[in-house]
Amino acid sequence: MADQMSALVLDLVEWVAKEPRPYADVMDAWRTSCPRLTIFEDAVDRDFIESRVMEGGGVLVAATEAGVAILRAHGRLRTIAIGQA
């Protein structure tokens, strides 16, 4: 389960690293009712993603520097556009 969870955390970080996503979209795509599958929370706890309040309202979820570094370490950075990471 830990390997699968780590892969899913990387999937989430990669998804928001491609472009910051509205918080509501992230919750629609990644929320789970399974208490043993806490992908969003694990990514936040590991400082791989963060929520940013936007000027004028709204919240975006984006990859942090640590998130980009973990993607790079796992060979997943190639799918992110230059300048966004």
Q: Given a cut of 50, is residue 79 above it in pLDDT?
A: yes
Which of 22-26, 35-39, 50-54 is predicted least confidently? 35-39
The residues facing 53 across adjacent strands are: 59
The residues facing 27 across adjacent strands are: none
Residue where the block lists tokens 């009712």: 33
Residue-range domains of the chain with CATH: 2-79 (1.10.10.10)
Token duo for residue 12: 């989430």
CB–CB of 62/49 below 8 Å? yes
Region of 49 on the Ramachandran plot (φ > 0 left; ψ -120 to 50 alpha; else beta): beta
- Cα 55 from Cα 62, distance rounded (Å): 15
Over residues 57-82, mean pLDDT: 86
